[in-house]
Amino acid sequence: MFQIFLGILILIFGIFVKVTKDPGFAKSKRFSWMFIAIGLLSIIAELVIMYHTRIVA
């Protein structure tokens, strides 16, 4: 459950970095897609693991 929460936070941070106009995040804008991808993959992986363990158990 914690991994889903962490994935959502990383995803939100990636979206925030992508849309913000703050000059402090200007260097991080190129990494926004990486944060979004890591967040999505983390959420999807955790859901697959939870679904798989429910079927096996």
Mean of pLDDT over the chain: 89
Selected residue with higher pLDDT from 2 and 39: 39
Q: What is the pLDDT of residue 15?
A: 93
CA angle 11, 13, 45 (to 5 degrees): 20
Q: Does 55 score more than 80 pLDDT?
A: no
Q: Does the pTM of the predicted model rise above 0.85? A: no
Q: For residue 56, give the H/E element and its range.
A: helix 32-56
Q: What is the pLDDT of residue 57?
A: 58
